[in-house]
Amino acid sequence: AEQSYQNGVTALIVTNIQRAMALLSNAFYGFPSNDLFAIGITGTKGKTSTAYFAATALNLGTDDRTALISTLNTSLGKGDVFKSKLTTPESLDLFRYLRQAVDNGMTHLVMEVSSQSYLLDRVYSLHFGIGVFLNISSDHVG
């Protein structure tokens, strides 16, 4: 709910800050997730290897138009590559990266999605065309 305060500042009151941040981030960056076919990979073991295999294969079929977000690196096209800080970025960073990828001409996305990121709603409002589940075990949070 929106509420005005005496000093003229408008505030948005939410019941789930993580979901609100993801929704607002996606909207702020112009819903870049709508312009990418996204593949999310989760599981206890094998996410990074699978993400790299999938991104390499997709790049062959998409003329190098596949972005990658992994534990090791984030690659957003046009040489825009940097070391990742988290397996799955916080939602504000995630949707900024997706905007950069779309602006760089990317059409596909392969990303590792940690179980923690699901629990913390980091990928809320990001629709995956394909979800891959690897080695789900008792170690897997959630």
| Number of domains the chain is built from | 1
pLDDT digits (tens, 9 = 90+) for 9-44: 777 889 999 999 999 999 999 999 999 999 999 998
Instruction: Please give the residue range of the domain that contains residue 7.
Output: 2-134
Half-sphere exposure of 29 (CA within 13 A, CB side): 25
Is residue 139 situated within a structural domain? no
Is residue 142 situated within a structural domain? no
Q: How far are the Cα atoms of 68, 73, 106 from residue 86, in angstroms, in the given order?
A: 13, 9, 21
Is residue 141 situated within a structural domain? no
- pTM to 2 decimal places: 0.90
The amino acid at 85: K
Is residue 91 situated within a structural domain? yes
Assign residue 28 the CATH number of its domain: 3.40.1190.10
Confidence band, pLDDT 50/70/90 cuts, at residue 49: very high
The sign of the dihedral angle between the CA atoms of 19, 23, 26, 28 is negative
Residue 86 structure tokens: 């988290």
* pLDDT on residue 2: 61
- Are 24 and 91 spatial neighbours (Cβ–Cβ below 8 Å)? no
As a residue count, the chain comes to 142
Average confidence score pLDDT of the chain = 93
Q: Quick one: DSSP state of residue 124?
A: T
Is residue 85 situated within a structural domain? yes
Q: What are the beta bridge partners of residue 37?
A: 108
Our separate counts of H helices and E strands in the chain read 4, 8
- pLDDT tops 90 at residue 3: no
- pLDDT tops 80 at residue 96: yes
- Are 57 and 64 spatial neighbours (Cβ–Cβ below 8 Å)? no
Is residue 140 situated within a structural domain? no
Is residue 97 situated within a structural domain? yes
